[in-house]
Amino acid sequence: MTHLVSLQAELERSRRRRQWVQLLMLALVLVTVLGSIQVIIIEDTDWDRVGSFGQIMESVGRFMALDLSLIPHLGIPMLETFLMACLGTLLGLFFSLPVAWFGALNVTPSKRILYPFGRFLMTLSRSIHEMVWALIFVAAVGLGALPGILAIAMRSVGFISKITAEAIENIDPKPVEAIRAVGGNNFQVMYYGILPQIKTVVLGTIIFEWDINIRRSAIMGLVGAGGLGLTFFRQMAMYNYGGVTVVILAILSLILLGEILSHYTRKAIV
């Protein structure tokens, strides 16, 4: 009986301690949030420039006067953006094959050197924003669609190769052993033993990434790779806010199209 009572007291005490910790965390979060609001929103903002609510609504209103005369000129940039996303995803897949091979623990050629290297490449590719990749490639290969494609490819490598490497690590090792046992070389092991097992996962991932890449390729024009981004940038530079809205609507419709396409392709594959 006394044992039970002491247990209850112990439980009560631990609950109270947990509540204290939670309260402390909440206070900490509140203080940091208030601090950030003070620094970022109140001190740093030029409230005269923002103006009153009416003035904000007025500048929003300028975007609402759609410039429909732009629509005939949007076809080619839309196609460019779409193709840039497709080629970027394809090139990204091409780059991610070796990275996935290095970064999968069970097939990597060397666990000491290439495995960490592959993992590092995956993190590096994902942690650099596509704008930054685009800046690097515009500096290296000049303006045009090529730097956009390369930037999208580099940004896609991380995700595709990470999922692929995880799929390779989770395969059933028996087919691989069977092919080894009948004398298959490394390439045959990969082609007949590993590839059939990871095919669906990789295809699903590529479709997913392609869908995201349409979104990314729509902004590549902002740093000098063509497509809808360039049209957006031009409309912005001309202060033609109605045109800007039309370009954004074009981007939205392209993405909607991509989402519908990827939905049906995924259904057809899986």
Partner 1 sequence: MNAYNSIQSKAPAREWSRYRFPRDLFRFTALLACLLGLMFAIDFLGIDLARLLTLFGRVGEVLSERYFPPDVDYVMQGDYLASVVETVQMAYLGALIGMLIAAPLAWFASWNVTLSRRVLYPLARLFIMASRSVHEMIWTILFVTVLGFGMLPGVCALVMFCIGFAGKLFAEEIEVIDMGPVEAMRSAGANPLQTFCYAVWPQIQTAWTGIAIYTWDVAFRAATVVGFFGAGGMGWYLKRNVQQLETERVAAILLSIVVLVVISELISAWARHRLNRKRDANRIAIEAEAA
Site size with partner 1, rule: CB under 8 A: 58
Name which position in 7, 24, 33, 260 contacts partner 1 (CB under 8 A): 33
Name which position in 66, 114, 190, 248 contacts partner 1 (CB under 8 A): 248
Which residues 6+ apart lie within 8 Å of 2 measured at CB? none
Residue 260 is a binding residue for partner 1 (CB under 8 A): no
Beta carbon nearer to partner 1, 22 or 45: 45
Separation CA 109–CA 104 (nearest Å): 9
Residue 270 is a binding residue for partner 1 (CB under 8 A): no
Q: Which stretch binds partner 1 (CB under 8 A): 4-12, 58-66, 99-107, 187-195?
A: 58-66
Asked if residue 244 lies in contact with residue 236, where contact means CB atoms within 8 angstroms, the answer is yes
Residue 97 is a binding residue for partner 1 (CB under 8 A): no
Asked if residue 258 lies in contact with residue 211, where contact means CB atoms within 8 angstroms, the answer is yes
Name which position in 1, 3, 4, 46 contacts partner 1 (CB under 8 A): 46
Count helices and strands (H / E) in the chain: 12, 0
Beta carbon nearer to partner 1, 157 or 176: 157
At 216 the three-state DSSP class reads helix
Alpha-helix runs per DSSP H in 37-169? 47-50, 53-64, 75-103, 114-127, 130-141, 145-169
Q: Which amino acid is at 105?
A: L
Residue 86 is a binding residue for partner 1 (CB under 8 A): yes
Name which position in 70, 80, 121, 164 contacts partner 1 (CB under 8 A): 80
| CA neighbor of 216 nearest in space, from 147, 163, 263 | 147
Report 136-195 residues binding partner 1 (CB under 8 A): 136-137, 139-141, 144-146, 149-150
Asked if residue 154 lies in contact with residue 184, where contact means CB atoms within 8 angstroms, the answer is no
Residue 232 is a binding residue for partner 1 (CB under 8 A): yes
| CA neighbor of 95 nearest in space, from 129, 113, 121, 117 | 121
Beta-carbon neighbour count of residue 117 at 10 Å?
Answer: 15
Beta carbon nearer to partner 1, 177 or 259: 259
- Helix pair angle (195-217, 145-169), 10° resolution: 150
Taking the complex as a whole, the smallest distance from the CB of residue 151 to partner 1 amounts, in Å, to: 12
Q: Which residues bind partner 1 (CB under 8 A)?
A: 32-33, 35-37, 39-41, 44-46, 49-50, 56, 59-60, 63, 79-80, 83-84, 86-87, 90, 123-124, 126-129, 131-132, 135-137, 139-141, 144-146, 149-150, 215-216, 218-219, 222, 226, 232, 236, 241, 244, 248, 251-252, 255-256
